[in-house]
Structures are given as structure tokens and as C-alpha cells.
Structure 1
Amino acid sequence: MAGSGKTCYVRKLVDVLKSNRKKVYVINLDPAVTKIHYKANIDIRDSINYRQIMKKYNLGPNGAIMTSLNIFVTRWFTDKLNELRFDKILELLDKRSEVVDYIILDTPGQIEVFNWSASGTIILGSISINLSFLESLSSSFPTMVNYLIDTTRSQNPITFMTNMIYACSVMYKCQLPFVASFNKIGNQTRGFIYGYFLDVNRHEVCLDWMSDYEKFYEAVTHDETYMASLSRSCALMLNEFYMNIKCCGISCMTGEGFEEHVKLLDECVDEYNR
């Protein structure tokens, strides 16, 4: 989601993988980001001017992002790679597959781009099904989704539940191996939350809510609002989702948790290949 630290995550993941002597290919698909702290092999901003899209079509920020992605995956454009279209990019990735260990896509934070837009379906569908235009399923890339969660904001049980509903929506829409990564852990700041002093940047409280409904119920029992009631009902509904989801805590600033995180990514490869 927006603000969860996706760009910082990509930078740290690239650093960790390269330190393990892995070859990485990075694609930035966020047209609105002003600066990225990693070297992108393909950058949507080289061919799509986000602000011009806003002005030309009289769009707001979210509408311009979705329109930029739609243009990117459906029309010809000219950039440093010479007249590429998204299907041509897929061919390029297919050629790189023999020499690259990981392909990383840095996406916009707006969840609707990949869950409910044509561009998201094309991007995820093309990569996860086959890079050679359905010639053979065996030539497809093992593909997974990493859903990044802001741990600090998710200490609020209502915000946590909203994140989980979004995560569930993404996982079942994509039908791909899935990891939920709680970012921004490691800061041992303590705060008074719902009657308790808690380490506000520890993800264990969120994992407890996922594994034990009673603990989540206790966290919202003081709240009599409709949202709290809805969250309690959703927690029961999501039990099956929780049992089938891989989770970890990471810090994109310090690198904490990335060793376990990379292991989960590799487990997703095995899951995809089964």
C-alpha cells in the first residue's frame, strides 16, 4: 500500500541479493515516484510523463497513475531501449532469464492499479502465465507477490484488518504465491496503545492477531463503532487466509529480517513450481 516503503524495500532487497552474489533485474512501474535509490533496468518514467498525463487528460493523481500504466502496457513508445512495448519487454525478460536470478517489479502503491485495471491484469497475467506468449507453461517465470505492510500504522487493529482485507483481495485476484511483509520493524519506540505500552514497531502483535482471534477481539473490545464490529467479523472470515499466508517482519532501513524474507521468496518459487 502507499507509504509502506516499497521503493526502499526494492533498494534493500537489491542490495541483499547482490551481496549474496545474485543477479537482479529491476523494473520500476511507478510513474509518480520522484526519486528511486536503486538502478532500474527499465523505468516507466523514461517513456511516460506522469504530470503531462494529468494535464492532458485532466486527471487526479490516482487516475493519472492508472492511465500511465494502461498506456505503458498497450501502446508503442520510444525510449533508450528503442521502440519497446510491454510485450517486447516480456521478450527481453525471457532472453535475460538464463542469466538473471531475480526480476523485481516496483509497483505503484495504489492497489486498484493491479487488482482492478486492465494494465495490472496484462502485467501480472503475462508474467505469471508465460513470457513467450503461451508457447509453453514450462518456460514461464516463477512469480510471486510481496505485499508490504506498514507495521507502525498496523498497530491499530482497524488499520491492521483493512490491510489484511486488501492483502486477501490481492492474493486471490493474482492466484500467485504470496508473502505479507511487515515493514519498519526494529525501532524500539514504545507507545501507549489501547491501554497497553507496546513496542509500536514490532510486528509480533500483528502475527498474534492473525494466529489468535481472541487476542484480536481483545484489542478491539473497547471500540463499539461499526468499523470495530466489522473488523471482528472479518477476523473470523479471514482465518483460512491466515493459514495459507507466509509472513515476516523486515526493516528496509537496517536490513533486519531480510535473511528470512529471502528464504520465503525462495519457498514461493518452490510453491509456484509444484
Structure 2
Amino acid sequence: MVDYKGVMKEYGLGPNGAILTCLNLLCTKFDQILSLLEKRDSSIPSIILDTPGQIEVFTWSVCGSIITGSLADKYPTIIAYVVDSARSTNPRTFMSNMLYACSILYNKTSIFLVLNKSDVVNPEFAVEWMGDFEKFSDSLDDSESCYANDLTRSLSIVLDSFYQNLNWVAVSSQTGQGFDKVLEIIEKCKKEYNKEYKPFFEKLNKDKAEMEAKFTAERLASLQIGEINGNNNKEKEEEEIIKEEK
């Protein structure tokens, strides 16, 4: 649909810039993807969209909002945020991941955390950090920058309520461990979508329809007034012509 390498060559972009540009181009044709999904949704229980790893697509890019919003408007849409457990053993790296995950919530979709590579590193440390601020605080190396550590501790306190409502699962793509629980969490998030997010999108669509109906009515009224004024002017011109002839 979009030629990634062709975009790199045509616009002189690097890999990351080309991916973002491709997603922007994809959004201009996203109605075609929705049409394809509508044709298949009755024959398959779930649809998985594997998106690029560039998190900025869903944190500040408009195309991320278009993709998630368009899907969530029609289907129970759930975001699986995959974290590399082996690379998140540093508490500051872990905190960065949690901030990214939290920032995705503005898309108004259910989200759950996938702690991947559990066969390499036991992700229990991440579970403890989310549940116990003291353990997370103790994991920070106070011999390093004090400002960075203080900021990280403060962010951990701020995200406490986020952790309490966050579904998570430890998995291994290598061994298949945890995938049965992934399916359980997806069903749980689906119920959450129907309860919390579906009413939001229904109201959004209702308000949009009302605004469009109001705009259409105002345009029609404006056209009718213009037509009446045009007819009145025409009648006056005809009367003036008749008077001149007399």
C-alpha cells in the first residue's frame, strides 16, 4: 500500500522519519483498511495490527490518533504495550517506558502491559516496582545524578494510580509462556472498552451527527434566503423595466 523504501529514497529520509511519513500516507487511505476489516470481521474473532516500534506515533503524532480512533470507533480496540524486560532493569529506563504507556491513554482505548522476554529476565522486578514505591526508590543508584533520581521517584508517585488500574502479563515469545493469560486479559479489556470507552465514541458520533445536521440546515436556510432575495430583486428589475417602457 505504501512503499517504505521508496519513501526513504524520494524524500531523503532515514528509517524513523520514513516510517512516520509512511504512516501519515497510510492514514489517507485508512478507510480502505476499515472496509477490508468490515468484510472479515464476521469470520474471525480478533484482528491484530502490528505497528512499528516508534512510540512517538502514538504519543504525539496525528496519524496515531487517527488509527486508534478510527478502529475504536467501530471495534473494541485494545493496545498491547510491549516492554523489553531485559532492557528495563534500569529503573530510569523502566520509568520512561511507563510514561510512554501512560501517555497512550489519551487515545481513549484500553491498554495492557506485555512484559516480554520473561525467559531471559524474570519480570518480577517490574511487578514489585509498580506495587511498592519503596522498592523502586531503593533500586535507584544515589551515587548518580540526584536530580534524575529525584525526578524518577516523583514520577513513580504520580503514576501510582496508573499502576493500580494497569493490566499486565509476563510472556516469552521464545517459549510461549504467558500467552494463555494474554487472551484472558484481552477479554477483560474488551469488557472495559464496552463499559467505559464505547459510550464515549457513541456520544462523539451523536454530537458529530447533530453538528453536521445543524450545519446542513443552516446552509439550506442560507440558500433559501438567497433564492428569495434573488427572486425579489428579479421582480423589482422587471417592475422597473415595465415602468420605463410605459
- Please state how far the C-alpha of 1:121 moved relative to its aligned partner: 1.6
Give runs of aligned pairs for residues 253-268 of structure 1, distance below 5 A: 253-268=174-189
Structure-1 separation of matches of 2:70 and 2:36: 13
Q: CA RMSD in A?
A: 1.2
Structure-2 separation of matches of 1:89 and 1:55: 25
SS at match of 2:114: strand
Match of 1:204 in 2: 124
Match of 2:109 in 1: 176
Which of 68, 75, 79 matches 1:145?
79
Asked if 1:93 corresponds to 2:37, the answer is yes
- Please state how far the C-alpha of 1:105 moved relative to its aligned partner: 0.4
- Please state how far the C-alpha of 1:221 moved relative to its aligned partner: 4.8
User: CA-to-partner distance for each residue in 1:223-262, whole Å, 9 max, x for gaps?
Assistant: 4413222111100110011011101100011000111111
- Please state how far the C-alpha of 1:102 moved relative to its aligned partner: 0.6
**2:151 partner letter:** L
Give runs of aligned pairs for residues 45-64 of structure 1, distance below 5 A: 47-64=1-18
Name which of structure 1's ranges 94-103 and 222-231 shifts more when overlaid on structure 2: 222-231
| 2:142 and 2:149 in contact (8 A); partners too | no
Structure-1 separation of matches of 2:39 and 2:67: 17
Asked if 1:159 corresponds to 2:159, the answer is no
**1:104 partner letter:** I
- Please state how far the C-alpha of 1:95 moved relative to its aligned partner: 2.3
User: CA-to-partner distance for each residue in 1:2-35, whole Å, 9 max, x for gaps?
Assistant: xxxxxxxxxxxxxxxxxxxxxxxxxxxxxxxxxx
SS at match of 2:119: coil
Match of 1:239 in 2: 160
Bigger share in helix = 2
Structure-2 separation of matches of 1:169 and 1:162: 11
Q: Give me the TM-score of the superposition, normalised by structure 2.
A: 0.76
User: Which ranges of structure 1 fall in alignment gaps of 5 or more residues?
Assistant: 1-46, 75-84, 130-139, 188-200
Structure-2 separation of matches of 1:219 and 1:255: 29
Structure-2 separation of matches of 1:118 and 1:233: 29
Give runs of aligned pairs for residues 1-274 of structure 1, distance below 5 A: 47-74=1-28, 85-129=29-73, 140-170=74-104, 172-187=105-120, 201-225=121-145, 226-274=147-195
Structure-2 separation of matches of 1:50 and 1:223: 45
Q: Give me the TM-score of the superposition, normalised by structure 1.
A: 0.68
Structure-2 separation of matches of 1:223 and 1:53: 46
Structure-2 separation of matches of 1:184 and 1:158: 19
Structure-2 separation of matches of 1:244 and 1:63: 34
Structure-1 separation of matches of 2:154 and 2:144: 13
Q: How many residues align?
A: 194
The percentage of aligned residue pairs carrying the same residue is 44
Structure possessing the higher radius of gyration over alpha carbons: 2
Give 4+ residue runs of structure 1 displaced > 6 Å after superposition.
none
Bigger share in strand = 1
User: Which ranges of structure 2 fall in alignment gaps of 5 or more residues?
Assistant: 196-246
Structure-1 separation of matches of 2:140 and 2:59: 29
Structure-1 separation of matches of 2:134 and 2:169: 21
Structure-2 separation of matches of 1:242 and 1:158: 16
